[in-house]
Structure 1
Amino acid sequence: MALLQNIKPHTKSVTAIGVKKTCKEYVITTASADSLVRVYTLPLTLDGEVTEVQTLDFSPQMMEAVAIAGGSEEVDGEVLIALAGVDTRVHVYGKKEKGGTFERLRRLKSHKNWIQALSFHEASPTSFFLASGSQDATIHTWKFSLQKDSSTVGGASSSTVHGGAKVELTEEEVLAAALDSMTFAFSSVSGRFQWHSHLVEIQQDAALIGHEARVTGLAWVPEGDDVLLLSTSMDRAMFLWQQQEGGAWDPQLRIGEMGGSTGNIAGFIGCSVTSEEKGRHLLAYSHNGAFHLWRKEAGSSSTLYQPLTVTGGHFKEVTSLAWHQSGEYFASVSKDQTARIFGCWKAQSAWVEIARPQVHGYDLQDCAFVPNCGNRLVSAAEEKTMRVFDAPKTYYERCHGVMGMEVPSLEGDLPITANVPPLGLSNKAVLGGQWEEEQNREKGSLDEGRDSVVPVGDFSTPFSDPPVEEDLVQRTLWPEMQKLYAHGNDVFSIAVSPSGEWLASAAKATSSAQAAVRFWMEDKDGYRHAAVAPAVHDLTVTSLSFSSDSRFCLATGRDRSFSIYSPSSLGRGKAEVKVVVTKAKAHKRIIWAGDFLSLPAEEEGTEGEEKKGSGVMRIVTVSRDSTVKIWDVQVQSGETSEVASLNVGDAVTAVGSLKCAPGVFAIGKEKGGVTLCKYTKARGIETLTELPQHGRAVKKVRFSPSSSASLAVVATCSDDHSVLLSSVSL
């Protein structure tokens, strides 16, 4: 897949796009919140420029749905464009004569509220069906019949050419329709108009009533000689409608959410359908950035559709990520208020979402796995606390089934999963007995009035397959084991030492007292607050990272300075934190990130020197001033010297080092670029290669612990809502 052309014609968000391949060219129509609709053409060979042919202005209204029909040789390649939006009408545009411009040929009125979905079905080159879906929770269908002879236009019919096709339903008719097979059929002619060399007769076909919220998506489904209509709604349901004898439409099946706990599933906002040799696929997508896919086997007479796994991700800025020490999977957190875990599905060699440990009420800011502690995850959000989670039994089973990982014995009191109480804010562990109880409760065998956790029920897919979206939202939470309180402001950055012994945290700050880094010490129940580092920074500490031996912690700040701390245990849950070095005004602007670099063997101190605390540390810092700097720090004296600097021409927002390869690191930039670099004393900072880039600022760069000195795997996350994985040979 390649980008042909980037078109930015609108001044506000694009609300709808329609594309039609005709016998002459591609016709592209875009609608926007700027109240404009633009029509483009593109050569069939795809090797020419996209040409804008006309702009339609609907000020002060805006259009939210587009559908295009026609384009065959029978109609000389001409098209009809249907537009609809906030004015509750369907506007039909076309050319009255060959070579002319698009004009409004008809305006159809039947809905009571905004129209958000349109879809054409071409039964033949001269017979079209148009479906419209609205916020009034109804779907209306229209039939367009084309006649070559246009001699009847004019005279007595001329008044209908310019009038509006208006069919109003009374409240009694709507209620009767809802009680009578969920449809209301029409047979009257709604109007005629001249289009090109054809007379077009419009007939309102039916009103489909069944959804409980606004209709957001429509798609026609060929079924032999028949045709079905697929619809999605904010009621979290997808209907497949079939027209019966007499013209009425009945729902053949309903799939999607059927009530109960839905987590953050806000409803479907669109749909699509395919009919392939492997079976029919129904696809819906929702506000939380997720795709929902179902499949029916080819040739099956059953109406049963099975849910399938779909690649997903975050739907807002991804703020941080962290690898598990095994290198088999990583966690990412986002402003969409979720923490997600991604791993490699061995059967398909594809990275998929394995679990969603946390669905929070605040934007998540940072995360870190705790090494040597199974699967323990620490997250920080825009609140004053950090939360610690442990993986439940179902996660280990999923890791074994999907990723083929060896898992520890799952006997004992390990929670089955986690859930959120009806009025709670924390993930509570669900033990084996509760799990069985909730399964029975969801099946209706227990008293519905009992106050317990929200039911979780059975998984939709076996543990050998990745979970589908419904399972991710409701059944893959991790139990919250601990809350860590200490900061007076929202937590901004955290880091866990490679040994797992130390957790460092920093909060948003406007003073030196608020900017103090806090250190937490591991104990049998999790982490305990052990010490506050001496005040060094004046503003927010932007990043924290530990050295490979867990002895030192590097902090970078908005005040253009960096510092290195050395925590040590005093026993009984207390610790002492010493400042090894502080470097003020290390850059001209904000230092966004820093990390420790591995030293070549010839530069490392002897074992005796390390025990005495002597030797050299090498660190890398990156800044908004577009520079990357390498520093050597004398451990014993704290003397710091800048040994190399490189201006990369763009603000640098993230950096991560490859611990197994001396001097190798990757940087992320404000415009989305990612560059692999290497520092040596002889050559300074070298650019090795450019990695796949993001569309917006890169927030974190992290190498997988499974990387080697010859082959590295690096994950990057960005404000463009994405996480990218790259494999690079060194």
Structure 2
Amino acid sequence: MSVTTDYVATGGNRHPAAADWEPGLLAFGADNNVALWNPADPDTRGISALLAGHTDTVNVVKFFPPSKARKSSKTSSSIILSGSVDKTIRIWQRDQDVQDDGGLSPSFEQAKVITDHQSSINTITVLPGSDAFVSGSADGTLKIWKLNTESDIKVDLLQSISIAPRFLPLALALERLGASSLILAVAGTKSIIQIYVSKGDRFSLAATLAGHESWIRSLDFTREEDHGDLLLASASQDKYIRLWRIHQGKELPAASSATSDPALGALGKSLSNKAHRFEAQGCTHSITFEALLLGHEDWIFSAKWRRRDGAQCPLQLLTASADNSLAVWEADPSSGVWVCVTRLGEISAQKGATTATGSAGGFWIGLWSPSGDAAVSLGRTGSWRMWNYDGVSDRWLEHVAVSGHVKEVKGIAWANDGSYLLSTSSDQTTRLYAEWKRDGKQSWHEFSRPQIHGYDINCIDSIGNAQFISGADEKLLRVFDKPGAVAGLLNRLCGIQTATDRTLPDAANIPVLGLSNKAIQTVDDNDLGEDITNGQKDEREAINPASVVHRSTLDIDHPPFEDHLARHMLWPEIEKLYGHGYEISAVATSHDGTVVATACRASSIDHAVIRLYETKDWREIKPPLTAHSLTVTSLSFSFDDKHLLSTGRDRHWAVFERDDSQSSAYKLAASNPKGHARMILDCSWAPVDAGSVFATAGRDKTVKMWRLLDAGTTCVTSIPAASPVTAVAFHSTIADGSLLLAFGTESGQITINCLNVQTLEVTNSIPMLTSTAPSKAISQVSWRPLQQQPRLRSEGRNGGERRTEHQLAVASDDSSLRICRIHLPVNA
């Protein structure tokens, strides 16, 4: 038995320094992990691996470029530096002994942990061709390091600089000033930039640059041409970018025309062209203000110079702002004035957080590709967006990127036929993932964002193949219908048919200040979307542009980009279910789709009840079911819907049996007030003996198998685990005479077990490799329902060994969603 990973979805961390891009690989912080993704992958397979090691949010990710001396050595492989809120810097080195997994990405292993800083790591800068790097922390210190990779990785601390009562560093930039001297720019929670110059291995303060009016979030050096002047770009929360020129020689460079630009008006009077002089290597250098770049309407988080392949390429600067745009800046060849030549992202009136879907919340990261012909950005929703430059049309074209949740993934549910997967999270969104099939290629992507909410969403379950229900902290449950736009997209790109006798609405939107998705109809492209009621146009009613969707907007031939997901891929809400007094904790739908069971957080018997609702007319079936005294943690219907199983924090499990006279009514059939030594966190039914076998998972580090008999229940098997078990699930089919059981633990470990159908004893067990398992607690595991017979494959020489493949979805508190493939040998 073996396990491989088909798909990983996770969102990026909102920090300007939390990503870096080298040829063939982009690394970014994703919760407490470092995610690896190749944006240029022609198969668009997305995130290939998560590097686990940090214990808190990753703020900084930086590739360490090899120096010329070690490019030819065996240790010249990629090195990644990552800094985290956990106060550590970790060094990851490519594992030369591990082959790439299907060509997805290189494998990295943790080589070193640096624990010298006393607070969160905010920024790291490196210098190509050098062994030096500098880190800045919220403890108010800068540390200069030397990284030696000749044999084993060694790190030496060369200098520690305290800048603390003045400001905390948020941005660093390091560049070579001469043959043996380096220049370091430091900025952060003040409006000044400090310039340090090295003499030997020691840096000393050489100049302080003033001019910005708020915190500075990004710094980046470039050289105009070989042996030319250095340019420093600084991006600030004052909505401006400033360029500074570092010139060698006693004579000052030609005065910049920036201060005399009449377009600046009164602002131009505040632009100082004072020269800051300093000595380095016996030479005089000067720093002068070069240009002020205006155009962004909100904080600027990132400024990056384009890496130039040759001198003929003009200098270009990429900036990312909270106004939802990326801007490319270039100096006009005739006047020398810096102008914005390209703007990417959201260019609309719907900026800010006025509506749930009206804004991506700004761009926190902007990166050039190593070749300079592509750019990516990361927004508030954790999703990446990518644009490639097309030289033929002279346009930037958006391409498919990666997306995922940015907080704990709390619940997952497959469609009844296994055609797509739904997930929900504490980031207040619900997402739909499906497999894009084209030209012999297959890859998983996010195809819809059905729910964008104002409360944390705790649980979810499918109702058939065209509806789902979710429960949140708002004490009620909401039912959603698949819109026609999503059904059509899934049909075209994934081959998923939506069989329903109902007329599906075209799309949905969220009204301003509302939480309920409303169904809307699409209009033709030449239709302005006038509000027509009973055939009469009301000219007094202003048209809300968010309520108008043109058909061509939804007619796409690729997985939707982030702006489509956030605006046009909502599902209309058709029902609300009331009754609970506290936050919803669990929901389950019967396999025939006729009954929904729900529960809420509770500290007393009065609230620890299970409420049942009929899906036909959404009426509550009374009275509610009582058995628990504390929160019900999990609900599960048996495969024949004859029994309903519940588990709770009171260590209690209960089985309710369907009343033969009333198919939707259930009554208590069996219970055990001391099923586990500690609280029971999850449960699942086995597909055998007409619903008489089930499993429970507890904080007492065990999974227990129970058999329901006429004379009572008995615990048949107990499977020990290394840490508390938080999730458990049986496969819906019997594979080669065995039951498949998966369970996940609080430490992130996932174990696949084969059980004998008769005795329920474990016949085979395989833990998922630590390198591919989540780094935090597993919140739910769910087997994909088989759309057809399990796929048979022959492996080995002469096709000797036959194996079946099954897919398991895993949701974790590390904000990741994974789809794993389980390979099982078929017994002769």
TM value normalised by structure 2: 0.76
* Residues 1:138 and 2:240 are matched in the alignment: yes
Matches within 5 A, 1:189-200: 190-196=275-281, 198-200=283-285
Corresponding residue of 1:368: 461
- 2:151 and 2:121 map into 1 onto residues whose CA distance is 23
Matches within 5 A, 1:409-428: 413-428=503-518
Relative contact order: is structure 1 or structure 2 higher (C-alpha 8 Å, sep ≥ 6)? 2
The one of 768, 780, 791 equivalent to 1:700 is 780
* Residues 1:650 and 2:723 are matched in the alignment: yes
Shift of 1:697: 0.9
- 1:289 and 1:241 map into 2 onto residues whose CA distance is 25
Corresponding residue of 1:208: 293
The one of 568, 571, 587 equivalent to 2:676 is 587
* Residues 1:332 and 2:332 are matched in the alignment: no
Structure 2 counterpart of 1:720, one-letter code: D
* Residues 1:485 and 2:578 are matched in the alignment: yes
- 1:75 and 1:484 map into 2 onto residues whose CA distance is 71
- 1:632 and 1:210 map into 2 onto residues whose CA distance is 69
Q: Evaluate the alpha carbon distance shift between residue 461 and residue 475 of structure 1 in structure 2; reply closer, same or farther with a 3 A threshold.
A: closer
Instruction: Confirm or deny: 8 A CA contact 2:233 2:303 kept in the other structure.
Output: yes
Corresponding residue of 1:116: 217
Corresponding residue of 1:258: 347
Corresponding residue of 1:35: 140
* Residues 1:712 and 2:712 are matched in the alignment: no
Instruction: Confirm or deny: 8 A CA contact 1:389 1:481 kept in the other structure.
Output: yes
Percent of pairs identical after alignment?
28
Instruction: Confirm or deny: 8 A CA contact 1:185 1:205 kept in the other structure.
Output: no
- 2:586 and 2:365 map into 1 onto residues whose CA distance is 37
Corresponding residue of 1:55: 160
Corresponding residue of 1:83: 186
Summarize deviations over 1:387-408 as a string: whole Å, max 9, x none.
Answer: 1111111101110222133455
- 1:534 and 1:222 map into 2 onto residues whose CA distance is 65
Corresponding residue of 1:243: 331
Structure 2 counterpart of 1:723, one-letter code: L
Instruction: Confirm or deny: 8 A CA contact 2:298 2:321 kept in the other structure.
Output: yes
* More divergent stretch after superposition (380-389 vs 117-126): 117-126
Structure 1 counterpart SS, 2:444: strand
Structure 1 counterpart SS, 2:620: strand
Q: Evaluate the alpha carbon distance shift between residue 186 and residue 264 of structure 1 in structure 2; reply closer, same or farther with a 3 A threshold.
A: closer
* More divergent stretch after superposition (616-625 vs 130-139): 616-625
Shift of 1:623: 1.4
Structure 2 counterpart of 1:690, one-letter code: M
Unaligned stretches of 5+ residues in structure 2: 1-105, 351-356, 532-536, 791-803
Shift of 1:531: 3.1
* Residues 1:16 and 2:120 are matched in the alignment: no
- 1:693 and 1:506 map into 2 onto residues whose CA distance is 30
* More divergent stretch after superposition (358-367 vs 417-426): 417-426
Summarize deviations over 1:102-149 as a string: whole Å, max 9, x none.
Answer: 2222221110111111111133355321100111111000112246xx
- 1:38 and 1:706 map into 2 onto residues whose CA distance is 55
- 1:682 and 1:370 map into 2 onto residues whose CA distance is 30
Structure 2 counterpart SS, 1:619: strand
Shift of 1:490: 1.4
Instruction: Confirm or deny: 8 A CA contact 1:183 1:248 kept in the other structure.
Output: no
Q: Which has the larger radius of gyration?
A: 1
Q: Evaluate the alpha carbon distance shift between residue 404 and residue 131 of structure 1 in structure 2; reply closer, same or farther with a 3 A threshold.
A: same
* Residues 1:94 and 2:197 are matched in the alignment: yes
Unaligned stretches of 5+ residues in structure 1: 158-166, 605-609, 611-615
Instruction: Confirm or deny: 8 A CA contact 2:595 2:664 kept in the other structure.
Output: no
Q: Evaluate the alpha carbon distance shift between residue 547 and residue 330 of structure 1 in structure 2; reply closer, same or farther with a 3 A threshold.
A: same
Shift of 1:45: 5.7
Matches within 5 A, 1:122-521: 122-123=223-224, 124-125=226-227, 127-146=229-248, 176-178=262-264, 188=273, 190-196=275-281, 198-222=283-307, 224-244=312-332, 245-261=334-350, 262-274=357-369, 276=371, 280-297=373-390, 299-300=391-392, 302=394, 304-347=395-438, 348-371=441-464, 374-407=465-498, 413-432=503-522, 450=542, 452=544, 454-458=546-550, 462-521=555-614
- 1:596 and 1:514 map into 2 onto residues whose CA distance is 25
Q: Evaluate the alpha carbon distance shift between residue 120 and residue 384 of structure 1 in structure 2; reply closer, same or farther with a 3 A threshold.
A: same
Q: Evaluate the alpha carbon distance shift between residue 586 and residue 84 of structure 1 in structure 2; reply closer, same or farther with a 3 A threshold.
A: same
Shift of 1:414: 2.4
Structure 2 counterpart SS, 1:7: strand
Structure 1 counterpart of 2:693, one-letter code: R
- 1:194 and 1:379 map into 2 onto residues whose CA distance is 65
Q: Evaluate the alpha carbon distance shift between residue 103 and residue 367 of structure 1 in structure 2; reply closer, same or farther with a 3 A threshold.
A: same
Instruction: Confirm or deny: 8 A CA contact 1:401 1:465 kept in the other structure.
Output: no
- 2:281 and 2:661 map into 1 onto residues whose CA distance is 88
Corresponding residue of 2:92: none
Q: Evaluate the alpha carbon distance shift between residue 7 and residue 569 of structure 1 in structure 2; reply closer, same or farther with a 3 A threshold.
A: farther
Structure 2 counterpart SS, 1:473: helix
Q: Evaluate the alpha carbon distance shift between residue 682 and residue 698 of structure 1 in structure 2; reply closer, same or farther with a 3 A threshold.
A: closer
* Residues 1:7 and 2:113 are matched in the alignment: yes
- 1:711 and 1:360 map into 2 onto residues whose CA distance is 36
Summarize deviations over 1:64-86 as a string: whole Å, max 9, x none.
Answer: 11222228xx624x532221111
* More divergent stretch after superposition (110-119 vs 8-17): 8-17
Corresponding residue of 1:607: none
Structure 2 counterpart SS, 1:118: strand
Instruction: Confirm or deny: 8 A CA contact 1:67 1:81 kept in the other structure.
Output: yes
Structure 1 counterpart of 2:362, one-letter code: G
Q: Evaluate the alpha carbon distance shift between residue 137 and residue 508 of structure 1 in structure 2; reply closer, same or farther with a 3 A threshold.
A: same
Shift of 1:686: 4.6
Structure 1 counterpart of 2:427, one-letter code: D
Shift of 1:437: 5.3
* Residues 1:729 and 2:823 are matched in the alignment: yes
Corresponding residue of 2:71: none
Q: Evaluate the alpha carbon distance shift between residue 7 and residue 446 of structure 1 in structure 2; reply closer, same or farther with a 3 A threshold.
A: farther
Structure 2 counterpart SS, 1:5: strand
Structure 1 counterpart SS, 2:581: coil
- 1:184 and 1:381 map into 2 onto residues whose CA distance is 54
Shift of 1:724: 1.0
Summarize deviations over 1:388-431 as a string: whole Å, max 9, x none.
Answer: 11111110111022213345599x84211001122432111012
* Residues 1:623 and 2:685 are matched in the alignment: no
Instruction: Confirm or deny: 8 A CA contact 2:466 2:500 kept in the other structure.
Output: no
Instruction: Confirm or deny: 8 A CA contact 1:369 1:376 kept in the other structure.
Output: yes
The one of 677, 680, 696 equivalent to 2:753 is 677
- 1:546 and 1:431 map into 2 onto residues whose CA distance is 36
Instruction: Confirm or deny: 8 A CA contact 1:413 1:431 kept in the other structure.
Output: no
- 1:582 and 1:436 map into 2 onto residues whose CA distance is 63
Q: Evaluate the alpha carbon distance shift between residue 497 and residue 178 of structure 1 in structure 2; reply closer, same or farther with a 3 A threshold.
A: farther
Query: What is the number of residues matched between the two proteins?
Result: 672
Corresponding residue of 1:163: none
Q: Evaluate the alpha carbon distance shift between residue 461 and residue 578 of structure 1 in structure 2; reply closer, same or farther with a 3 A threshold.
A: closer
- 1:673 and 1:198 map into 2 onto residues whose CA distance is 59
**Cα RMSD over matched residues?**
3.1
- 1:388 and 1:175 map into 2 onto residues whose CA distance is 58
Shift of 1:597: 2.1
Structure 1 counterpart SS, 2:753: strand
Shift of 1:94: 3.1
- 2:503 and 2:721 map into 1 onto residues whose CA distance is 53
